[in-house]
Chain A
Amino acid sequence: MIALLRAVAGLIVWAVAFSAIYGAQGLVCARGWQDVAIGPVGLGRALLIALWLAFCAVLGRMTWRLRCAWHGGVFLDRLAAASAVVGLISTVYTGLPVVATAVCR
């Protein structure tokens, strides 16, 4: 059972990342943090980018640590490696809007 959970760990981290970033975006706009400037970006966007990069880093580390599992013989380990890669790509792609789009409009 734990092996199954490990096999989808990367996808679970994506789910947490997506929820956290979307939830944080709602909080940022409700609290008006986007209006506080930190250099060229608002506080809100900075927070969102930080969250996004943090999750990308976690998934990057997972992908790196599981890089040998691709060639191993255990099916669930290969799934774990695939899950980490998919989680990483998904987090990068679905979180990318934090960089460029309007936060609260």
Chain B
Amino acid sequence: MKALRLHRQFEAIWGTPPGWRGALTTVNHSTLGKRLMLTAFGFFLIGGVLAMLIRAQLATPHSAFVGPAIFNQLFTMHGSIMMFLFAIPMFEGFTIYMLPKLLGTRDFAFPRLTAYGWWCYLFGGSLLILAMLLGVAPDAGWFMYTPLSSKPYSPGINADFWLLGITFVEISAIVTAADIVVTILKLRAPGMSLDKMPLFAWYMLVTAMMMLIGFPPLILGSVLLELERAFDWPFFDATRGGDALLWQHLFWLFGHPEVYIIFLPAAGVVSTILPVMARTRILGYGWIVGAILALGFLSFGLWVHHMFAVGIPHMALAFFSAASTLVAVPTGVQIFAWIGTLWSGRPQMRLPMLYLLGFFFVFVMGGLTGVMVAVVPFDWQAHDTAFVTAHLHYVLVGGFVFPMLAGAYYWLGHLIGRQRQYTLGVTAFWLIFIGFNMTFFLMHVVGLLGQPRRIETYPEGLGWTGYNLLSSVGSFVLAFGIALFIIDLSLQFFHAPRTRRNPWGATTLEWAMMLPSPSYNIASIPNVDDRDPLAARPALALELARGEGYLGEPRHGWRETLAVETASGRLDHIVVLPGNTSLPIWTAAVTGAFFVAMLLGLYWIAPVPLIGVAVLGWRWAAVLGRRTDIGPLPLGGGETAVTHWEARDPPGWWGSVFVLLADATFFGSLLFGYAYLWTVAPGWPPPRLMAGSLIEPALGVIGAGLAVVGARAATRRLARDGEGHSGMAGAGLALLFGALLATALLRAPAPTGHAYHAVIAVMIGYALFHVGVALLIQIFVHRRGRAGYLSARRSAERRIATLWTDYGAASGVIVLLATHLPGLVA
């Protein structure tokens, strides 16, 4: 009865209230995760229909089905929807739903941010679908190469929908990535050291870090292209010192890691399901972790292999060809670990296992053609032909969709509490497998016979006709398979019998709870001492439900979970999480208003929503915190710990660290763009450099120094006396702000004349923004101190302010030097 009482008490605290109000304000990760997965699947179906339209057009030569203008929209939207609105949100949704359960905790580190990410995705994705419905969908390819996507060749609003809509969705991805990293590093069950973490958590740690580093170059590129289109700032215009290849570099710096970002979570699903299907432990845990880390880094060294045909020197081609072949090794290590696991186990041919076998077959084939195109002479034959289309679908569908379908069947019981294997599901698998191979295998052949990509029709008599027709037939078979999959899942939802708690006999923590999972996951938090916690303690679920672990008694209506030390997993402090609130949806709506204003060309209105976001962000932080110290609290098992308000290392501080890491990557990409244009673009050095001065940089350095020293002095004073003020830090930031503003108003030339001018303008704007944000944060923390929210123990807010002050100071000084020095030196 204790379990039932605890369940009711925890549900009252963690549950989502019924009705609209509950639906719009919930921050619960299970609800949000399911929404993300369902929505992503919806986008998958839309993208799939677009694919059907493409195949219908290409089934016969000179088809009259659609004309070239519509066809361009079809393949652009198919790619953009699949990559941005399906793949990433699908694994994000799965991670949001499953990760806390796997880690033995109750929610993510930043539940409101999870909700914000969901709403940004919904609103941003809707913008793109709206474009499609209005007949102005983006049509310059999912990769939007300049100069095709620049204003002269794409005068319509189509490209702006892509640039603004995708950026909106990417904000969601970045905040979710920071959320995931902090949750994995800090919010695990006590005792779960990094080497006892489930492999899926390692995969997601690397994936989320890759997102933080890989997405900012795309966001920068999108910002620059939108500035060029809206205000004629010539970043990519070769007649004014720009370079169309800059876009390609920025895009593929994102684009290559992107496909590994898509693959790794799916590989994590494989690593989780395969040992269970084989009724054994995974073989080579350490090797797999090493391979994942290697993959995470090496994948950032491949991007130019998408640009083998642009005319770069032999040496550069060789660098990237070498790296592209090398990356097959860590991928292969994982494949062999999985094969070894199957070999050492007793695999059972249940439906998830069928999809895993499909994954092996299809993904390995894709990997092999990948090594083929990594070899430059071969790529020069296959570039921009259907061969590449075949390769990318083999790796993406094999590497992501098949594991996704395996995961759907494996965890269906977890999500809905019911499951049964119907023959319909097996039929669906075979139709999907056969249909996929029929559609895309033949594409290798027709590509080598010379058929280009992205053409809306082709002539008779080249020998392509039969292959295209069979491909299109295969695509319909694939579509039937997907349809049967949907019917199968729907049947299970309505008719399948209730499942046992751990139907597969798995050993990971997500099965240590009732199914479907409650809003709070577990009534008490376990102490973990094994990689397979349920293997040693099969009755763990009942123990936890009876409150026998940590935090087994709800108190004060708090949503509590535990934070641990990063590497060792030793218990560190209690985290009290925020509950349901309408802040996320409001903030997402106001963020969206900015993007819509830009889209409609209402540039003079656009700053208003940005101010709105700042106001809401202030409130976001202001509703947290305490006015009194409370010291350590009991958490069960005779142990005590401080709360996060008084912890040395709270999640909030780490969240700022990782967001700033992504920010720094954005800045680094901007500096890279500056250096690239200076070195490579035609028309450099520009006719006139900005007249540098010593005054603004000197004032800026003084200001930055005051800011950094002042922030630290305030932190020290807070620790010593329980109070501190932001006077020096604020003054320093204001001085730095003034130096930057003076540079912008007195020295910087008009941005439209040359790419050099435009880059200076963006750099100054970036620095002004960050110094301004740092100043705002210092003012906020100053007022918080006055209001009693800070003390010697409750010092996290001041330390977070120091992080942002340091960043503002550094970026401000770097921009001042980068803009003034060239003119001074010349």
Contact = CB atoms under 8 A, between A and B. Distances in A.
Contact of A101 (B286, B290, B298, B318): B318
B301 interface: yes
Contacts of A64: none
A25 B194 contact: no
Given A26-B680, A76-B194, A105-B314, A8 B293 contact: yes
Contact of A4 (B319, B567, B676): B567
A77 B319 CA distance: 30
Contacts of B316: 22, 25-26
B542 interface: no
Interface in A1-47: 1, 3-4, 7-8, 11-12, 14-15, 18, 21-23, 25-27, 29-30
A83 B287 CA distance: 11
Contact of B297 (A1, A11, A76, A105): A11
A15 B679 contact: no
B582 interface: no
B196 to A, nearest CB: 9
Contact of A97 (B290, B298, B319, B326): B319
Contacts of B680: 26, 30
A30 B677 CA distance: 11
A67 interface: no
Given A3-B567, A30-B680, A82-B290, A105 B313 contact: yes
A78 B286 CA distance: 9
Nearest to A104: B313
Contacts of B173: none
Contact of B194 (A75, A90, A105): A75
A70 B721 CA distance: 48
B293 A7 contact: yes
Interface residues of A: mostly helix, strand, loop or mixed? helix
Contacts of A75: 193-195, 286
B289 interface: yes
B679 A26 contact: yes
A94 B194 contact: no
A18 B318 CA distance: 12
Contact of A102 (B298, B314, B676): B314
Contact of B315 (A7, A82, A101): A101
Contacts of A29: 313
B354 interface: no
A54 to B, nearest CB: 17
A79 B679 CA distance: 38
B335 interface: no
Nearest to A14: B297
A18 B323 contact: yes
B661 interface: no
Given A25-B313, A75-B195, A18 B301 contact: yes
Given A8-B293, A103-B313, A96 B322 contact: yes
Interface string B282-295: 00001001100110
A89 B668 CA distance: 27
Contacts of A98: 315
Interface residues of A, number: 38
A69 interface: no
A14 B313 CA distance: 22
B566 interface: yes
A18 B301 CA distance: 7
Interface string A34-68: 00000000000000100000000000000000000
B567 A76 contact: yes
Contacts of B567: 1, 3-4, 76
Contacts of B193: 75
B767 interface: no
A80 B166 CA distance: 37
Contacts of A22: 316, 319
B662 to A, nearest CB: 16
Nearest to A29: B313
Contact of B313 (A79, A86, A90, A102): A102
Contacts of A7: 293
Nearest to A48: B315
B300 interface: yes
B289 A30 contact: no
Contacts of A48: 315
Contacts of A90: 294, 298, 323, 326
Interface in B472-526: none
Given A96-B322, A98-B315, A8 B194 contact: no
Interface in B321-356: 322-323, 326, 330
Nearest to A78: B286
B298 A1 contact: no
B185 interface: yes
Contacts of A18: 301, 319, 323
Interface string B304-315: 000000000111
Given A1-B185, A18-B301, A86 B322 contact: no
Contacts of A97: 314-315, 318-319, 322
Given A22-B319, A76-B194, A95-B319, 16 more contacts: A1-B185, A3-B566, A3-B567, A4-B566, A4-B567, A8-B293, A14-B297, A15-B301, A18-B301, A26-B679, A30-B679, A76-B567, A86-B290, A86-B294, A94-B301, A101-B315
Interface of B: 185, 193-195, 286, 289-290, 293-294, 296-298, 300-301, 313-319, 322-323, 326, 330, 566-567, 675-676, 679-680
Q: Which 10 pairs, one residue from A and one from B, show the smallest C-beta to C-beta distance?
A: A97-B318, A75-B195, A11-B297, A102-B314, A101-B315, A30-B679, A94-B322, A101-B314, A82-B290, A3-B567
17 contacts: A1-B185, A3-B566, A4-B566, A75-B194, A78-B286, A79-B286, A79-B289, A86-B290, A86-B294, A90-B323, A94-B319, A96-B318, A96-B322, A97-B318, A101-B315, A102-B314, A103-B313
Interface of A: 1, 3-4, 7-8, 11-12, 14-15, 18, 21-23, 25-27, 29-30, 48, 75-76, 78-79, 82-83, 86, 90, 93-98, 101-105
